[in-house]
């Protein structure tokens, strides 16, 4: 079975195929505007950040944006892996993988690069999302890291059992123990982990995800969110695609509405600024929406 990263890459490529030449050039130009001299990508404040760089390098790989692989290697060489939190450690390992791919050329497939590496145990990280190693998002990052480094999840039964603690009666998941509201992104994270364990057998929690879709086509982060957002829409559509499920409504117009004149994508219609992370979500959403909307309402 393909890794989470390989599924993401496939979906991004599918999103790319939905765009004409002018649209691709517009998106690529914005992405290149976020690139710094050392080949890293800048965050919302304009500073270099490994997390944003992982998004940027994957987009460059998909969109055939040429990067200086020597400078990429120099950028990676300055980091001390032992000082990174889980999010940035996983981003670092993915960047190493992307650098390898770009150095060797596109003839290599993503799957062939999953060489087994020794990595830090999950318990050794001082900072993990929500300060909880068992939370759905933490487990999603951890499993992605394992797969990117050629390792396997050895305690799938325990992970499956631990995730149930974060599930509410309505079917959705939350990232905080004892919380009262499930979220789209926590549910998508949990379903990604469970899907990799069960080979994406149907899960009733998918119905919770579907119910978070607004008639506009976008997905709400929570039931009480004022407006749908692009991140929740991308993660929801992606997980539905993985399970070969269709959303309730067609989402293409919603995604298009979040593509700004700058060439980048915005988080919500209330936002004005874009960044490379939301370009990633935009292209992912386009790729997932095209794949699984055959039964969706217009």
pLDDT computed for residue 180 by the predictor? 87
Asked, for residue 170, whether it belongs to a domain, the answer is yes
C-alpha span between 7 and 28 (Å, rounded): 22
What's the pLDDT band for 298 if we cut at 50, 70, 90?
Answer: very low
pLDDT tens-digit map of 208-219: 999 999 999 999
Beta bridge partners of 229: 219
pLDDT tens-digit map of 101-137: 898 865 456 556 667 899 999 999 989 999 999 999 9
Give the lowest-confidence range in 30-34, 153-157, 185-189: 153-157
- Which DSSP helix (H) or strand (E) runs through 208? helix 205-211
In the numeric block, which tokens belong to residue 159?
């992970």
* 185: containing domain: 132-201
DSSP 168-190: -TTS-B-SSTT-S--BHHHHHHH
Among 284, 288, 281, 276, residue whose Cα is nearest residue 28: 276
Winning range, highest mean pLDDT, from 33-37, 289-293, 294-298: 33-37
The yes-or-no verdict on residue 241 having pLDDT over 60 is yes
What's the pLDDT band for 93 if we cut at 50, 70, 90?
Answer: very high
3-state SS class at 230: helix
What average pLDDT does the structure give for the chain? 93
**Total-model pTM:** 0.95
Asked, for residue 142, whether it belongs to a domain, the answer is yes
Asked, for residue 156, whether it belongs to a domain, the answer is yes
Asked, for residue 181, whether it belongs to a domain, the answer is yes
Asked, for residue 6, whether it belongs to a domain, the answer is no
The yes-or-no verdict on residue 46 having pLDDT over 50 is yes
pLDDT computed for residue 2 by the predictor? 87
Q: Are 182 and 170 in contact (CB under 8 A)?
A: yes
pLDDT tens-digit map of 47-58: 999 999 999 999
pLDDT tens-digit map of 148-171: 999 999 889 999 999 999 999 999
When divided into structural domains, the chain yields a total of 1
Asked, for residue 114, whether it belongs to a domain, the answer is no
Q: Are 283 and 263 in contact (CB under 8 A)?
A: no
pLDDT computed for residue 178 by the predictor? 87
The yes-or-no verdict on residue 221 having pLDDT over 80 is yes
Asked, for residue 20, whether it belongs to a domain, the answer is no
Beta bridge partners of 249: 297
Asked, for residue 171, whether it belongs to a domain, the answer is yes
Q: Are 221 and 183 in contact (CB under 8 A)?
A: yes
């Amino acid at each position: 079975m393909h890794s989470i990263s390989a599924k993401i890459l496939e979906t991004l490529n599918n999103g790319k195929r939905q765009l004409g030449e002018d649209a691709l050039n517009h998106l690529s130009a914005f992405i290149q505007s976020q690139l710094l001299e050392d080949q890293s990508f800048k965050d919302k404040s304009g500073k270099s950040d490994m997390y944003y760089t992982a998004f940027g390098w994957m987009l460059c790989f998909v969109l055939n944006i040429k990067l200086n692989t020597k400078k990429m290697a120099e950028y990676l060489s300055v980091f001390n892996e032992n000082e990174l939190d889980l999010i940035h450690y996983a981003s670092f390992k993915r960047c190493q993988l992307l650098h390898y791919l770009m150095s060797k050329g596109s003839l290599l497939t993503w799957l062939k690069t999953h060489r087994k590496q020794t990595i830090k145990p999950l318990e050794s990280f001082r900072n993990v999302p929500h300060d909880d190693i068992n939370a759905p998002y933490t487990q999603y990052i951890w499993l992605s890291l394992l797969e990117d480094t050629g390792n396997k999840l050895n305690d799938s039964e325990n992970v499956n059992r631990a995730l149930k603690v974060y599930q509410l009666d309505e079917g959705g998941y939350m990232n905080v123990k004892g919380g009262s509201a499930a979220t789209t992104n926590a549910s998508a994270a949990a379903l990604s982990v469970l899907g990799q364990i069960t080979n994406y057998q149907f899960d009733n929690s998918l119905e919770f995800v579907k119910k978070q879709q607004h008639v506009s086509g976008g997905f709400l982060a929570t039931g009480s969110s004022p407006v749908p957002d692009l991140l929740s829409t991308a993660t929801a559509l992606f997980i539905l695609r993985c399970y070969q499920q269709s959303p309730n409504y067609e989402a293409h117009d919603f995604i298009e509405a979040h593509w700004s004149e700058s060439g980048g994508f915005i988080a919500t219609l209330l936002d004005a600024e874009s960044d490379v992370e939301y370009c990633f979500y935009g292209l992912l959403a386009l790729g997932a929406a095209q794949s699984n909307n055959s039964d969706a309402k217009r």
